[in-house]
């Protein structure tokens, strides 16, 4: 939403899984508050860097969050695809966690550069077939999703869904200009894929509001102001 239409965080029903995930991300230093420049050139009051889930315990717990959200979503899929680079460990960890929970599915990923020896090509792992679930950290412009979709279709499989860690719920940019939809909305509406996220910006706002007495009141206001400027209307 933009302008004065943004709903207050407190009016949203609380999502306990999302709140636990936000706390986990803060504890790991993955989610930080301050002033950070985004790829779109915006000055964001928060920064989410999934690359800092950087040891076995963190990655294992992260996979648990992905698996819980995915199972809650009801999205059906036959295999997992992890786009290079961050999607590779995320997809692999999710595949391991799902197998631990009794759902063993094939996993594949791509290389950025084609290999010209051995088996060759850009795809590694299980053959792409059936309904494919793409796993990534965030979705900024939908570019990575479009590239993954093209690879999956070229292999004769069906890109069916995307699961991400954080939905920033903000306007995407096209040719340097803000547009009235987010990358997630674009992937859902224009590309026809189901998308689920462990947490959204609205969940982050709830977390900041609930912890305002712990020195986060100013951060809550900055994030709220940012959303009022760049947020999308999800109604």
Query: Could you say which DSSP state residue 2 is in?
Result: -
Each residue's pLDDT tens digit, 119-157 = 557 899 999 999 999 999 998 766 778 899 999 999 999
Active site residue 115: yes
The ranges assigned to domains in the chain are 3-230
Residue 158 C-alpha from the chain's centroid: 20
pLDDT of residue 8: 44
**Within 13 Å of residue 87, how many CA atoms lie on the same side as its CB?**
25
pLDDT of residue 11: 55
**Average of per-residue pLDDT values in the chain:** 89
Residue 165's nearest CA partner among 57, 30, 55, 43 is 30
Residues 6+ away with beta carbon under 8 Å from 187: 139, 142, 145, 162, 193, 195
For the chain, percent of residues with pLDDT exceeding 90: 74
Tokens 């990575």 belong to which residue? Answer: 144
Q: Which of 115, 160, 171, 181 is catalytic?
A: 115
Each residue's pLDDT tens digit, 41-77 = 889 999 999 999 999 999 999 999 999 999 999 999 9
Q: Which long-range contacts (CB under 8 A, 24 or more apart) does 39-44 make?
A: 39/140, 39/141, 40/140, 40/141, 40/173, 40/178, 42/226, 42/230, 44/226
pLDDT of residue 173: 84
Each residue's pLDDT tens digit, 103-127 = 999 999 998 776 555 455 789 999 9
Name 231's bridge partners: 170
Q: Which of 117, 181, 200, 211 is catalytic?
A: 117
Topology of the domain comprising 3-230: Rossmann fold (3.40.50)
pTM for the model: 0.89
């Amino acid at each position: 939403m933009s302008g004065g239409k943004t709903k207050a965080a407190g009016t949203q029903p609380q999502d306990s899984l999302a709140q636990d995930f936000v706390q986990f991300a803060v504890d790991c230093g993955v989610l930080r508050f301050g002033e950070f420049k985004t790829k779109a050139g915006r000055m964001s009051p928060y920064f989410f860097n999934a690359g800092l889930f950087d040891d076995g315990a963190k990655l294992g717990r992260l996979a648990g969050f992905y698996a819980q959200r995915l199972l809650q979503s009801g999205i059906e899929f036959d295999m997992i695809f992890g786009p290079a680079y961050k999607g590779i460990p995320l997809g692999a960890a999710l595949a391991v966690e799902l197998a631990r929970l009794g759902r063993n599915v094939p996993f594949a990923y791509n290389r950025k550069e084609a290999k010209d020896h051995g088996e060759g090509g850009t795809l590694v792992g299980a053959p792409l077939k059936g309904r494919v679930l793409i796993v990534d950290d965030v979705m900024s412009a939908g570019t990575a999703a479009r590239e993954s979709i093209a690879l999956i279709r070229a292999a004769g499989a069906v890109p069916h869904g995307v699961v991400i860690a954080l939905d920033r719920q903000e306007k995407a940019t096209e040719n340097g200009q803000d547009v009235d939809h987010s990358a997630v909305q674009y992937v859902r509406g224009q590309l026809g894929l189901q998308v689920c996220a462990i947490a959204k910006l609205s969940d982050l706002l709830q977390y900041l509001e609930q912890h305002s007495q712990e020195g986060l009141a100013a951060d809550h206001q900055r994030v709220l102001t940012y959303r009022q400027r760049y947020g999308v209307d999800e109604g």
